Amino acid sequence: MSPVPALRPDLRLGAGYHSPQVPAEVRLNTNESPFAPPDEFVRALADEMTRVAFHRYPDRGAVELRRGIAELHGVDPAQVFCANGSNEVLQCLLLAYGGPGRRSLLFEPTYTLHAHISRLTGTEVVAAPRDEHFAIEPAAALAVLAATRPSVTFVCSPNNPTGVAERAEVVAALLGGAPGLVVVDEAYGQFAQTSALELREPGGSPGGTDARGLVVVRTFSKTWAMASVRLGYAIADPEVVTACEEVVLPYHLSVPTQVAGVVALRFAAAMASRTGFIAAERDRLAGALRALAVDTWPSEANFILFRPRDVPAGVVWQRLLDRSVLVRDCSTWAGVEGCLRVTVGTPEENDRFASALTESLR
């Protein structure tokens, strides 16, 4: 019997990329929607599923879904690429534009999968720091762009795990200086005041910056309350969409996924109202946190980063779990040492978190 071969030496796979799936009554660790989709959505989806030709491969072009998403954003379907969660969108972008001999640039602290998927695709990662408010400093960023010439520059806005949204001028400045794609990961975009999509609009880009290298990535996992479905998409130049289609596996997007997306789009207004509700809860939760012995940062997402002042983060995390409240331990991540991140839940969950945290900080 032949032995299992050695792992690719450049992978250096380690633990820490995945949030532990620990059982808890209040799960505020993965930034999902605290609410299930509306019952009418579930009924409509079940109805559509009775008409599926299960013995046939899915539509490779995901025509109906892309048309619906394009309509939602006022773009052409040729500018829409869909995949299994925004993570697969990011992977396709890196397969097409990263790879050996190429670099990706990201600004830490940020979403760890940007670096992880870069490495998986053999792309060298350049990590630049943010300023003390967790914002990208344009002049410093332009200097790094000029020195390292990345094929892909990642901006996460609002940024995970800090919650800070990037100003349109900053994204425009990066677009002006980047030699490759600028990928703005807006997994939490609907919770924020601004979107990089505005830069695509005629006259939307300050100084008339060419926005063809701009890719905005979104997901149905958060605001659309469909994390189980695994559906994400990019709005990009048609050339970028074609490149992603070249590298993705054939028939990657299953019929149930495509149908779920198409049906969800009929409930866009209901989803938008939930987003507003969660943003209001976030602000209420932020107020509760400000009254406690933690440092915290203004968030435009559906989560809040906080750093306990007097008790080590790991101890607080465990004490919360002892009270069946699960949050994300970011305390070992670069740039957010000693921090925890809480997802905004239902009002009841948020109250339970706030009282468990009050006890855990004693």
Residues at the site binding ligand PMP, with contacts judged by CB under 6 A: 31, 85-87, 111, 156, 160, 185, 187, 219, 221, 227, 232
Distance CA 223, CA 127 (A): 29
Q: How far is the CB of 322 from ligand PMP (least distance, A)?
A: 25
Question: Which lies closer to ligand PMP via its Cβ, residue 97 or residue 209?
Answer: 97
Q: Which two tokens stand for residue 326?
A: 């699960």
State how beta strands 294-296 and 303-308 pair: antiparallel
Minimum CB distance to ligand PMP, residue 116 (Å):
11
Shortest Å, Cβ 31 to ligand PMP: 6
Residue closer to ligand PMP by CB (options 151, 160) is 160
Residue of closest CB approach to ligand PMP: 85
Q: How far is the CB of 56 from ligand PMP (least distance, A)?
A: 26
Least distance (Å) from ligand PMP to the CB of residue 55? Answer: 28
Q: Which of 31, 209 has the CB closer to ligand PMP? A: 31
Nearer to ligand PMP, 187 or 305 (CB): 187
Which CB atom, from 85 or from 261, has the smaller least distance to ligand PMP?
A: 85
How far apart are alpha carbons 219 and 190 in whole angstroms?
10
User: Would you say 35 or 287 has its CB closer to ligand PMP?
Assistant: 35
Query: Smallest distance, Å, CB 3 to ligand PMP?
Result: 34
State the minimum distance, in angstroms, from the CB of residue 250 to ligand PMP: 20
Distance CA 116, CA 178 (A): 21
Cβ-based nearer residue to ligand PMP, 31 or 104:
31
Taking the complex as a whole, how short is the minimal distance between the CB of residue 89 and ligand PMP, in angstroms?
8
Compute the least distance from the CB of residue 301 to ligand PMP, in Å. Answer: 9
150 or 232: CB nearest ligand PMP: 232
- The full 3-state SS of the chain, as one line of letters, equals CCCCCCCCCCCCCCCCCCCCCCCCCEEECCCCCCCCCCHHHHHHHHHHHCCCCCCCCCCCCCHHHHHHHHHHHCCCHHHEEEECHHHHHHHHHHHHHCCCCCEEEEEECCCHHHHHHHHHCCCEEEEEECCCCCCCCHHHHHHHHHHHCCCEEEEECCCCCCCCCCCHHHHHHHHHHCCCEEEEECCCHHHCCCCHHHHHCCCCCHHHCCCCCEEEEEECCCCCCCCCCCCEEEECCHHHHHHHHHHCCCCCCCHHHHHHHHHHHCCHHHHHHHHHHHHHHHHHHHHHHHCCCEEECCCCCCEEEEEECCCCHHHHHHHHHHCCEEEEECCCCCCCCCCEEEECCCHHHHHHHHHHHHHHCC
Phi, psi for residue 102 in degrees, rounded to 5:
-120, 160
**188 vs 306 by CB, closer to ligand PMP:** 188
